Chains A and B, each alone.
Chain A
Amino acid sequence: MRKKLSREKKNREITIPTDSFSDIAFLLIIYFLVATTLVKVKSITADLPAGEKSTTAQSDKTPTVNLRGSEIFFNDKGLTLEALNERLAALELATLEPEKRVVMLESAAGTPYQNYFQALAAISANGGVVALVENEKK
């Protein structure tokens, strides 16, 4: 009897149940599809020159945007954001050579990022290259 049992054990086939594998795989796909969120943020592109700090003053012709609190100045003349957009569009910066596209962006202490962002967006959207003006630390 013992011999018979051992023989039967040896002959027994081991099978791995693979019938439900495709179901599991499709469930995983559905999980990935449901759990995935496709995030596409909205942004503005600003390529600020990484150049060395210049101690010499820029030429008078370089357009300058100045932010003082909530006020915007373009070449020392106060204006609204819409007017700034118009003035920058009139310069047709995108058609100029890269070195002539520079627009200086100067801001007073405490200027909120909202105002800064709008000025940065206006300059970039009109083809300008933003150069940040840093006040000298005493």
Chain B
Amino acid sequence: MKRLPQRKKRRPVVIPIASMGDIAFLLIIFFLVCSETSKERSDLQVTLPLSEHVRKNEVSVVARISIDNAGAIYFDGAQVDGPKDVEWGVRALLTSTVSDEQRHVQFNCDASLPKENFEPVLQAIAAAGGIIEAVGKESN
């Protein structure tokens, strides 16, 4: 009768680690599939405008349009000649969309630029059917 507890003590505890590699590779595949590479250029010289009404953007955008402090227009990181290129680019992207949620276009513009630089681009996005997500900074 006294032998029973001794047997229990001798039982080896094995942690199953054979499938750890598979789990790790599955996690990598998950990250690769879910991650989205940034199409925006990080070297653009843009000072964002301030407003108390800006909110965290929760929607996904179909295109990113930027105007730097020199007035150069970028469509998804690539420089374009003018607002007409923006309009056609957005129009092409929105042809396959079905809902309003897929019409959002991110607009990034330098705060010091005059109306002549940015308004034609805003009108081009609107003419193509995009909903403008104008990027800004929250003012205190």
- Name A's B-contacting residues (CB within 8 A): 18, 21-22, 25-26, 28-29, 32, 36, 39-50, 107-114, 116-118, 120-122, 124-125, 132, 134
Contacts and interface: CB of A to CB of B under 8 A. Distances in A.
26 contacts: A22-B17, A22-B21, A29-B24, A29-B31, A32-B28, A36-B35, A40-B57, A41-B57, A42-B136, A43-B106, A44-B51, A44-B53, A44-B55, A44-B136, A45-B104, A45-B132, A46-B132, A47-B131, A48-B126, A109-B115, A113-B110, A113-B112, A114-B49, A116-B118, A132-B122, A132-B126
Task: Give chain B's interface secondary structure class.
Answer: mixed
B109 A25 contact: no
Contact of B136 (A22, A48, A117): A117
Contacts of B50: 114, 118
B63 interface: no
Contacts of B112: 112-114
Interface residues of B, number: 47
A118 to B, nearest CB: 5
Nearest to A124: B53
A132 B119 contact: yes
Can you list the 4 inter-chain pairs with the closest CB atoms, starting with the nearest?
Answer: A25-B24, A22-B21, A48-B126, A117-B49
A69 to B, nearest CB: 11
Contacts of B114: 109-113
Which one of B49, B52, B55, B116 has the greatest number of beta carbons of chain A within 10 Å?
Answer: B49
B38 interface: yes
Interface of B: 17, 20-21, 24-25, 27-28, 31, 35, 38, 49-57, 104, 106, 109-119, 122-123, 125-129, 131-138
A45 B131 contact: yes
B115 A107 contact: yes
A66 to B, nearest CB: 13
Contacts of B118: 113, 116
Nearest to A48: B126
A114 B111 contact: yes
Contacts of A21: 21, 25
Contacts of A45: 104, 131-133
B133 to A, nearest CB: 4
A118 B21 CA distance: 53
A108 B116 CA distance: 10
Contacts of B27: 25, 29
Contacts of A29: 24, 27-28, 31
